[in-house]
Structure 1
Amino acid sequence: MKNGFNARGLLGLQLLWATFGITWDLAFLDLINLQQEETLYIICDFSAKILFSSTLMLSSFKSMEGRREATMRHIEEGSKQKLIEELRHLLEQKERFMSSVSHELRTPLNGIIGISEGMLSG
């Protein structure tokens, strides 16, 4: 299904083009009068305009949908990358905080343990 046509649409397009030729042949062989020929050409012309404009509109909608999906994928990828970077930054901050807190707690605790051992020994 390329350019908005499927097998059914192609068959309709072929029938539409054949109708122009059939109308010309019928008029050339004097099987229809001038008014009938004009009516058939108007119907064929109107049908062709409807078919082509609807095909253009459908392919336009499909291309807009494709562009929207590609943009959304790009935004999602960007969001994922940004989220990964933010998480890495937060992990680094957590590690710095934990090392700082552990150092700040370790020094006084070592002092308390030393004083406690000194008091227990005598």
Structure 2
Amino acid sequence: MILMLGGGVFLGRSITKPLSVLARATEAMKPGQLEKMKESRNEAERKLLDGSDELSILMRSFDRMREEILDKIEEIEEKNQSLQRMDRIKDQFLANTSHELRTPLNGIIGLSDSLIDGVAGPLSNEAIDNLSMIVQSGKRLANLVNDILDFSKMKNQDLQLQLRPVDIRSSVTLVLALSNSLVTS
């Protein structure tokens, strides 16, 4: 009877000990614990990894899964850093390009305004209308460039709002004039 009881205790421990080792390993899979898990293996865990029974196979499979997870985490962190670097380059490009577009755009608007004012002599009404569309289109484009710059400032939390009324009538008139020339051709 004592022999059977001792055999039962031994058999019970031989089953529960590997299961408790596996349970501890599962608990160690919490965030931030994955890296430490392999370094802190105890003797029972190492024996379990070297065995050939189902629990040993499960433990090795579990170990491979942990390694794959660590590899994926590292890969994701590298891609995240690369994306952040590309995002900074994109922002810098947009800011630089926007500033470079402003100079010629202001020149086009200024020259067109000067021609409308008669600096080069009198112009026909049709020429004045066309130059006015150039000025209005240039101003719209300048507003788009400013929007790009504002977006860049907003992303860097450096945007200061300047509230002012908007002349919707002139925008609608410009869009209709531009569309009208497309419809008639």
The alignment status of 1:79 with 2:94, answered yes or no, reads: yes
The match for 1:22 among 44, 47, 53 is 44
Secondary structure at 1:67's aligned position in 2? helix
In structure 2, runs of 5+ residues without a counterpart are: 1-28, 123-185
Among 104, 107, 113, which residue is 1:92 paired with?
Answer: 107
TM alignment of 1:59-70, pairs within 5 A? 59-70=74-85
TM-score, normalised relative to structure 1: 0.54
RCO (CA 8 Å, sep 6+): is it higher in 1 or 2? Answer: 1
User: What is the percentage of aligned positions where both structures have the same residue?
Assistant: 8
Amino acid at match of 1:58: I
CA-atom RMSD in angstroms: 3.2
Alignment correspondent of 2:125: none
Structure with more of its chain in helix, by fraction: 1
Counterparts of residues 21-60 of structure 1 (less than 5 Å): 21-23=43-45, 37-39=51-53, 40-60=55-75
Distance 1:50 1:69, change over 3 A: same
- Report the alpha carbon displacement of residue 18 of structure 1 after superposing the two structures with TM: 5.1
Offset at residue 43 of structure 1 (A): 2.6
Mapped partners of 2:39, 2:52: distance in 1? 16
Gaps in structure 1 of 5+ consecutive residues = 1-6, 27-33, 107-122
> Secondary structure of the equivalent of 1:8?
coil
The DSSP-based 3-state class of the residue aligned with 1:38 is coil
Give per-residue Cα distances to partners, 1:36-68, cap 9 Å, x unaligned: x42243233221111011111122022112212
Greater CA deviation, 9-18 or 44-53? 9-18
Larger Rg: 1
What corresponds to 2:30 in structure 1? 8
